[in-house]
Amino acid sequence: MPEGDTIFRAARTLQRALAGATVTRFESMFPALNRVDADRPLAGRTVETVTALGKHMLMAFSGDLILRTHMRMHGSWHLYRPGERWQRPARDMRIVVETGRFVAVGFNVPVAEFLTARELARHGQLGTLGPDLLAADFDHATAAKRFRAHNADTVADALLNQRILAGIGNVFKSEILFVARLHPHRTVGTLSDDELTQLIVEARRQLQANVLDHAQTLSPAVGRRTTRSLDPAAKLWVYGRAGKPCRRCGALVHGEKSGADARNTYWCPRCQPALT
């Protein structure tokens, strides 16, 4: 699943390519989008901004129209030059926004809607999001308060709760907990204030490190690393490494599926001891 770093990088790349340009063609496989386009054509509008909000992408056009997309498990945005061959089959296309210089194609995008600025401000799902870890004005105090409202939840589940923090997905969940040395089964209520602060700081640090300006890509997880190792085979600490030696201590990494969606969680039992 694309996580906050993927959406942030994709939005930044699309912003650089499309902002200020005039839309020459819009195409969609969503009837609701096409109805809006028929009544208020996209062609002729200017792309004003492309921004990320947690795992949501917002593409704003002149004339008070905003395209919200969410990638869920398999969606992605690609950027091409006009006439360039797509890297994905046309049957996977869901949205096309074309300008004179670039063609932005949303493949397998499961969620898309047009909103006005007023509708965006009153949007039910967006309005409940916790602080965006990649926002310039990220508020640590608000994040901590939201965690404390879920003291009965495990820290693994809390990190995935977008109403607490916006932007974390399954990979970062396991990696953040490893670096913070917290067992995924611990409940939020067992964390000291210092442990909670460290968890939030580490979550923000990891996502920020993976959106550095050299990583200009729309591809999910390309170049994502949490270990700081230059070895391409050692990008992650524990994610996907069940049964393999911990990169830090050598103990065998554990893995399990948990939660309502049976999400994979990985941890080192020695580096992340359970409470006794």
Write out the catalytic residue numbers: 2-3, 55, 263
Residue type, 265: T
**Paired residues of 154 in beta bridges:** 187
How far apart CA 44 and CA 29 sit, in angstroms, is 20
Contacts 24+ apart (CB under 8 A), 257-266: 258/156, 258/184, 259/156, 259/157, 259/160, 263/160, 263/170, 263/173, 264/170, 264/174, 264/239, 264/240, 265/156, 265/170, 265/173, 265/174, 265/184, 266/174, 266/178, 266/238, 266/239, 266/240, 266/241, 266/242
Helix (H, G, I), strand (E, B) or coil at 76: strand
How far apart CA 195 and CA 209 sit, in angstroms, is 21
Secondary structure (H, E, C), 8-72: HHHHHHHHHHHCCCECCEEEECCHHHHHHHHHCCCCCCEEEEEEEECCEEEEEECCCEEEEEECC
Residue type, 226: T
* H-run or E-run covering 145: helix 140-148
